[in-house]
A and B are shown apart, each in its own frame.
Chain A
Amino acid sequence: MSAPVDLSNFKDMTSGNPELEKELFDEFITSSENIIKELKQLVNDADNEAWRKAAHSMKGTALILGADNLGKLCKDAQLNNAAPAVEKQKMIDDIDKEYGLVKEFINANRTT
């Protein structure tokens, strides 16, 4: 099973700057948790556009970080923003689970 995150591109972009990496890891965690919270609130909401935007936002960040599986799950959520609540619930559950793996990986690989 591959790691939930491939940090090689991310580290290249940060030029190995440990303070910037810490700042960005923290930013990723904060913004992801806010978005997951928002998506959970939107499961039963008719605002499909808000769902789409939230999923899109998290997708971009996940892909840049190197969390491809998480990015893919967010892309699916973005594209299926009109799905019924039951399906949306499954999508957010999957995202939440994958995010947990990503967060664990990041925290285990922090230098600061």
Chain B
Amino acid sequence: MLIRTVKYNAEQQLINDLYEDRVISQSVLQLKLSIIGKKAEELILLSKLKDLISDDKNGRIYLCDDGDVFIVWKGANVQLLADIKNSLVSLVSDTYGHSTEKFFTFYDFQANKEDLRIECQRKIIVIQNKESGHVTTSLNNAAQKSEHEDAIQHDKAADQALHTITQEQIKILKKALENRKNRKNLVILIVEDQTFAYKLLKQILESYECHIASTAQEALNLYCYHAPDIIFQDIELPGGDGHSLVKLYRNFNPESYVIMVTANSYKKDLEMAKINKVNGFIVKPYSKQRIMDCIQEYLKYKKGY
């Protein structure tokens, strides 16, 4: 039986799976390899884990960037839990001298679903804080406090950020919108997870102040912090789709100027873009001229507004 391994944006994918109820009546074991600064591949763990859950049709392994591994299997199979722990105890305690108590966190999905979501969201915010460096003090404090495992209240607030903008972010956005009036140069948010694509876009738009977001959460954070004049929005993104993000932007600032950018020319994406009344729709490959035309269209729009 093939085991699904999630390697990219594991925490976000696990949350998505929870929302979509793919993980139902299941057990989740978190291996905190981040404590010892190692990754599953380095410890040759993956094949062992796959062997242990190979009989489980819903078995999945989520590999986080920080080394943590979430293992998911069906039901409350306590024997399987014991087998997994036993197979790893000697590795953790003998090899690295760490107590196994802190190494494993078990979530009985039915009882601890919320705790699992909070933990995933906490890890996402920690990553975003490290990468963007633009998140406010209060969000940073939320990430730091949760690191000491005594900030469930803060985590619950952060948990909301996934599908909406928090009250704190609204305050930041309002301030950014105020400051926007005094801007001398356009601020552009490029929401694109492909390095190749965003570096090229940034080059084309080098005359302007550009910020890059490569995940949905990062896009929300940077949107609130910078109140960009124009958003070049990819549709397929880790952690959320571009259409949902457009709705969020417009929720809090109906004048958000958004140009969708995609490699797909699906009818459904075009229809959704129309419903969301985006300001432009570009199918890759684009040209430098096409991108600059978008800027000119925005400037005309702004003048006439």
Contact = CB atoms under 8 A, between A and B. Distances in A.
A15 B203 contact: yes
A102 to B, nearest CB: 13
Contacts of A14: 200, 203
A17 interface: yes
Contact of B194 (A44, A45, A57): A57
A66 interface: yes
Interface stretch (B74-82, B148-156, B283-291): B283-291
Contacts of B200: 10, 13-14, 24, 64
A93 interface: no
Contacts, number: 62
Nearest to B265: A75
B105 interface: no
A61 B197 CA distance: 7
Contacts of B285: 9, 63-64, 66, 71
Given A28-B196, A63-B284, A13 B204 contact: yes
B2 A46 contact: yes
Given A13-B204, A56-B263, A59-B263, A64 B199 contact: no
Chain B interface residue count: which class? 10 to 19
B185 interface: no
Contact of B288 (A12, A17, A20): A12
Contact of B196 (A15, A56, A61, A71): A61
A47 B196 contact: no
B4 interface: yes
A60 interface: yes
Interface of chain A, main secondary structure = helix
Interface in B219-253: 236
Nearest to B238: A53
A96 B199 CA distance: 25
Given A13-B288, A53-B236, A66-B285, A60 B203 contact: no
B19 to A, nearest CB: 15
A46 B284 CA distance: 29
B264 interface: yes
A16 B205 CA distance: 15
Contacts of A46: 2, 4
Contact of B203 (A13, A27, A45, A66): A13
A31 interface: yes
A27 B284 contact: no
B2 A56 contact: no
B287 A13 contact: yes
Name, among B196, B200, B264, the residue most crowded by chain A CB atoms within 10 Å (CB to CB). Answer: B196
Interface string A44-81: 11110010010011011101111000010000000000
B53 to A, nearest CB: 15
Contact of B197 (A9, A47, A56, A64): A64
Contacts of B203: 13-15, 17, 20
Contact of A24 (B2, B4, B199): B199
Contacts of A13: 200, 203-204, 287-288
20 contacts: A9-B287, A12-B288, A13-B200, A13-B203, A13-B204, A13-B287, A14-B203, A15-B203, A15-B288, A20-B199, A28-B196, A31-B194, A45-B4, A56-B236, A57-B194, A61-B194, A61-B197, A63-B284, A64-B196, A64-B200
Given A9-B285, A47-B4, 14 more contacts: A13-B204, A13-B288, A15-B203, A24-B199, A24-B200, A31-B194, A50-B4, A56-B236, A61-B196, A61-B197, A63-B284, A64-B286, A65-B196, A71-B285
Interface of B: 2, 4, 194-197, 199-200, 203-204, 236, 263-264, 284-288
Which 8 interchain pairs have the tightest Cβ spacing?
Answer: A60-B263, A63-B285, A61-B196, A64-B285, A13-B288, A13-B200, A63-B284, A27-B196
